[in-house]
Amino acid sequence: MPAADEIVAPPAIAARLRKLGLTRGDDLVLHLPIRYEDETLVTPIADAVGGVALQVEGEVLDVSVQYRPRRQLVARVSDASGELVLRFLNFYGSQLKQLEKARDEGRKLRIFGEIRNGFLGAEMVHPRYRVVASDETLAQSLTPVYPTTAGISQNALRKLIRPALANADLCELLDREWCRDHDLPPFAEAVQLLHAPPPGAPEAALQLRTHPAWRRIKFDEVLAQQLSLRSAYLARRQKGAPRLKARGKLAGQLLASLPFGLTGAQQRVRAELAADLAQPYPMQRLLQGDVGSGKTIVAALAACQAIEAGWQAAFMAPTEILAEQHYLKLRAWLEPLGVKVAWLSGSLKKAAKKAMLAQAASSAQLIVGTHALIQEGVDFARLGLAIVDEQHRFGVAQRLELRRKGGNPHQLMMSATPIPRTLAMSYYADLDVSVLDELPPGRQPITTKLVSDARRDEVIARVRGAVASGRQAYWVCPLIEESETLQLQTAIDTHAALCAELDELRIGLVHGRLKSDEKAAAMAAFAAGEIDVLVATTVIEVGVDVPNASLMVIEHAERFGLSQLHQLRGRVGRGVHDSVCVLLFARPLSETARARLKIIFENTDGFEIARQDLQLRGPGEFVGSRQSGVPLLRYADLELDADLVELARAMAEQLLRDDPACARRHLARWLGSREELLKA
């Protein structure tokens, strides 16, 4: 590998190149065209079709500056077949001189642009042109057009990339035979072809990036990403963590006290966690399970193992409502077994907080809370296991913070936003993944109804009916993303309206601006059946679990995202009762809103919904801003190139095991300095 691979350029240019992510020769090699222009052919003017960029050649017949309708430079050129007008609305005086000179000397112009048929016949507006010698040969390859930024012309980029390509080390790093078997051309061949395709190369396949050369590049790119995430995973594994060995007495007692037995999926995941926790390196596991699949008990059983082994467990949830609910549930499960459970949230009064902090630092065995758990001043005595619920709701920084707390605890992350397999492989290549793919038995399927808001009265009647038969209902207020104040006002208005319409019912209200004890009181009253209808904002979106609630009404459902709708709908159907989710919508519906409502109406499986959501939105928006390998993918498309992700994953494992030197060289080629990005 050449050691001095830095691009040599004046500081101003270098700064712009850095903006494009280009600092090394290798970066230039991997800076691939977005499209091509064909300057390998000259089209006779008479044969030129409109609307396609093409090259013609001709002599200048005359050139003049005209003033109608505004000042412009107009040149007339011709070849043997016909005539063409070139029109420049902005031009330099030197251009006029240059064209006059070409006219006087009978020199030819080579012109590239799109022909259109104007008032005075065929013309090109602002074509690219240059004066050529009569023996000048045509381009031998398609002309690449690169992604660029202000201040760097295509020509400048081409002048940098051409020599970089000639000087770079393009040696093959992968097994040639394996590549052949998978229809992947050698690396050198692929980059050379993409920078300079020969005349007649299949432009469509190049443009659509389905050409084998593109597949090779995409494979290499995904491989680099997988190598990077996987090696970060292995590095974390090098660090020690306490072996949490337990005979399983505490977990056994908890299980015996439950009114239900574990599902097969829960048993399987429980065993996976138990095995991880007994290792001398930290568990890094993500537990994915659809809404209602029973993740909490599985996490609680893992916590039992830590506690029995003499360590502490922390359980962090993203909202106060959810954290408090977990606290109450875990306390009810574990305190009777003699476990000391502590509660820590940002809204605790000073004295209470101080007491809790003291407990965390000493005798508490399970500490439940919001992100207050990772704030300054919290010191765990012996943190052995950190559990993060609804992990996608936390920022990367927050999750890292919990990892740093108390040394290097085992980590269990949980998510009810199921993500499709290829996306998971890409986003979570640095984690082990367990899946709860089975719902507890006895769940009644939820019926989803789409109802226009013109028929709101029928929905009111349905609420009345549900309460009359002993059930409870949620009424979710319209989402108003732009303004928290408006959102709050809407919640208050909706509550007032429902109180008037359903004046015989007990109607509660919960929203984000309530004080936490008010929120907790409203939730507790609803859980205890003292409230019939709970009017709520999306604060109830995740985790909330009240099995007697069998009706969910979502107003202006067209404003919500798919995963939000799926989560909200998952608040019902948690008991033995038939449940209904009513999606009230207002016309007119945008096309995407219509598509979303159709998906949620037709599907109940969270994975399928997620898959379709991904197609609708693309991966960036889909998973949020988790800083992971995905920002590194410029070329590969996780949906279209799913097969490559699978291949790259396997190859990454194999290289890291059998040929780490090769893995390092591949990473250096692809990531160079950018790899640091991933070390978070």
Q: Is residue 294 a contact residue for ligand ADP (CB under 6 A)?
A: yes
We find the least distance from the C-beta atom of residue 296 to ligand ADP, in angstroms, to be 3
Smallest separation (angstroms) from ligand ADP to the CB of 443: 8
* Of residues 399, 398, 404, 405, the one with CA closest to residue 381: 405
In the complex, the smallest distance separating the C-beta of residue 324 from Mg ion, rounded to whole angstroms, is: 13
Q: Is 629 in the site for Mg ion (CB under 5 A)?
A: no
Q: Does 301 bind ligand ADP (CB under 6 A)?
A: no
Q: How far is the CB of 322 from ligand ADP (least distance, A)?
A: 9
Amino acid code (one letter) for 388: V
Task: Print the binding letters for residues 565-584 with ligand ADP: x by CB under 6 A, - otherwise.
Answer: ---------x----------
Which amino acid, residue 242?
A: P
**Strands 72-78 and 53-66, how do they pair?**
antiparallel
- CA 202 vs CA 56, 143, 183, 207: distances in Å: 21, 14, 17, 9
Q: Is position 40 an interface residue for ligand ADP (rule: CB under 6 A)?
A: no
Regarding 92 and contact with ligand ADP (CB under 6 A), the answer is: no
- Annotate 525-589 with three-state secondary structure: HHHCCCCCEEEECHHHCCCCCCCCEEEEEECCHHHCCHHHHHHHHCCCCCCCCCEEEEEEECCCC
Residue ranges in 392-421 that form contacts with ligand ADP under rule CB under 6 A:
416
Cβ-contact 295, 350 below 8 angstroms = no
Nearer to Mg ion, 192 or 411 (CB): 411
Check binding of 260 to ligand ADP (CB under 6 A): yes
Q: Which of 98, 293, 422, 563 binds ligand ADP (CB under 6 A)?
A: 293
Report the run of H or E that residue 372 belongs to, with start and end.
none
The single-letter code of the amino acid at 574 is: R
In angstroms, the CA 134 to CA 141 distance is 20
| 543 touches Mg ion by CB under 5 A | yes
Q: Which residue is nearest to ligand ADP (CB)?
A: 294
Q: Which is nearer to ligand ADP, 300 or 491 (CB)?
A: 300
Amino acid letter, residue 317: A
Shortest Å distance, C-beta 272 to ligand ADP: 16
> What mask, x for binding ligand ADP by CB under 6 A, covers residues 357 to 396?
----------------------------------------
3-state helix, strand, coil in the chain (%, to 5): 45, 20, 35
Say whether residue 294 binds Mg ion (CB under 5 A): no
Q: Report which of 126, 123, 95, 129 is spatially closest to residue 110, judged by C-alpha positions.
A: 129
CB of 635 to Mg ion, least distance (A): 37
- Among the residue ranges 112-120, 488-496, 540-548, 592-600, the one whose residues contact Mg ion (CB under 5 A): 540-548
Residues 408 and 417: their CA atoms lie apart, in Å, by 26
14 binds ligand ADP (CB under 6 A): no
Query: Omega of the bond prior to 69 within 30 degrees of 0, cis?
Result: yes
Binding segment for ligand ADP among 103-111, 260-268, 456-464, 660-668 (CB under 6 A)? 260-268
**Is 418 among the residues that bind Mg ion (CB under 5 A)?**
no
The correct pick among 189, 545, 637, 675 for binding ligand ADP (CB under 6 A) is: 545
Q: Least distance in Å: CB of 508 to ligand ADP?
A: 20
The Cα–Cα gap between 471 and 548 comes to 6
Q: Which amino acid is at 192?
A: Q
Is residue 266 near ligand ADP by the rule CB under 6 A?
A: yes
Pairing between strand 121-125 and 116-118? antiparallel
Eight-class DSSP state of 278: T
Q: Is 507 in the site for ligand ADP (CB under 6 A)?
A: no
Task: Collapse the DSSP code of 516 into the 3-class scheme (helix H, G, I; strand E, B; otherwise coil) and give the result.
Answer: helix
Among 295, 371, 405, 571, binds ligand ADP (CB under 6 A): 295
Q: Where are the alpha helices (DSSP H) in 361-455?
A: 396-404, 421-427
Residue 292 C-beta: closest distance to Mg ion, Å: 8
For residues 596 and 577, what is the distance between their CA atoms, to the nearest angstrom?
Answer: 27
At 213, list the tokens.
């050369």
The whole-angstrom separation of Cα 435 and Cα 264 is 12
Q: Toward ligand ADP, which CB reaches closer, 295 or 519? A: 295
Is 440 one of the binding residues for ligand ADP (CB under 6 A)? yes
Rounded-to-integer distance, Cα 6 and Cα 358, Å:
54
Distance between CA atoms of 32 and 146, rounded to whole angstroms?
6
Q: Which does 319 bind (CB under 5 to 8 A by kind): ligand ADP, Mg ion, none?
A: none
Query: Among residues 124, 170, 277, 291, which is the contact residue for ligand ADP, using CB under 6 A?
Result: 291
Based on the shown chain and the rule CB under 6 A, indicate whether residue 292 belongs to the binding site for ligand ADP: yes
Altogether, the residues listed in the chain come to a count of 680
DSSP character string of 22-87: --BHHHHHT---SEEE--S----GGGPPTTSEEEEEEEEEEEEEE-SSS-EEEEEEE-SS-EEEEE
Q: Which is nearer to ligand ADP, 340 or 443 (CB)?
A: 443
CB closer to Mg ion out of 230 and 295 = 295
> 573: which 2 tokens?
């159907």
* Binding piece for ligand ADP, criterion CB under 6 A, among 170-178, 285-293, 427-435, 444-452: 285-293
Nearer to ligand ADP (CB atom), residue 420 or residue 543: 543
Residues near Mg ion (CB under 5 A): 543
Q: Contact residues for ligand ADP (CB under 6 A)?
A: 260, 262-263, 266, 289, 291-297, 416, 440, 543, 545, 547, 574
